[in-house]
Structure 1
Amino acid sequence: MAIRYKVDIMSELKKKGYSSTKIREEKLIGQSYLQQIRHGELVSWKTINTICSLLECQPGDLIEYVKEDGVQERG
């Protein structure tokens, strides 16, 4: 996958005081999305929006594009 997380999202949330338990209890991010984040899978823009709000950051602080070998660029 060419788009990936630049940081450990769960670790960053924890630093800001948002444990998995707190996130679930306050219904900030669903359990299935938390699992996707833990496994490095990309989540919805709505979830990225929530994470950016909690971490007070921009989407570009969380994700990056990395060109894969053998993939030709279009344009």
Structure 2
Amino acid sequence: MPIVYKVDVLAELKKRGYTTTRIRKEKLIGQSYLQQLRHGELVSWKTIETLCELLDCQVGDLVEYTKDDSEGVQ
């Protein structure tokens, strides 16, 4: 996958006081998106927006593009 997280998003949230329990209780991010974050899978732009707001950062602070040489370019 050429787009990857630069940081452990859940760990960064926890540092800011946003435990998964708090996130669920306050309905900040849906359970399915929390599961995707745990597995390093990409989430929706709306969720990225919420993460940037909670972590006071830019999208580029969370994700980056990495060239995947295993995919053939034609």
TM-score under structure 1 length normalisation? 0.93
Q: Tell me the TM-score normalised to structure 2 length.
A: 0.94
Tell me the residue number matched to 1:29: 29
CA shift for structure 1 position 70: 3.9
Q: Report SS of the residue matched to 2:67.
A: coil
Q: Percent identity?
A: 68
- Within a 5 Å distance, the mapping from 1:1-75 to structure 2 comes to 1-71=1-71
Cα distance in structure 1, aligned partners of 2:72 and 2:57? 31
Secondary structure of the residue aligned to 2:22 is helix
Output the amino acid matched with 1:32.
S
Structure 1 residue 69: Cα displacement = 1.1
Q: What CA RMSD, in Å, does the superposition of the two structures yield over aligned residues? A: 1.3
* Cα offset, 1:35, TM superposition: 0.2
In the TM superposition, residue 71 of structure 1 has moved relative to its aligned partner by 3.9
Which blocks of at least 5 consecutive residues in structure 1 are unaligned?
none
Unpaired runs of 5+ in structure 2? none
Aligned residues between the structures? 74
Instruction: Please give the alpha-carbon distance, in whole angstroms, between the structure 1 residues aligned to 2:29 and 2:8.
Output: 16
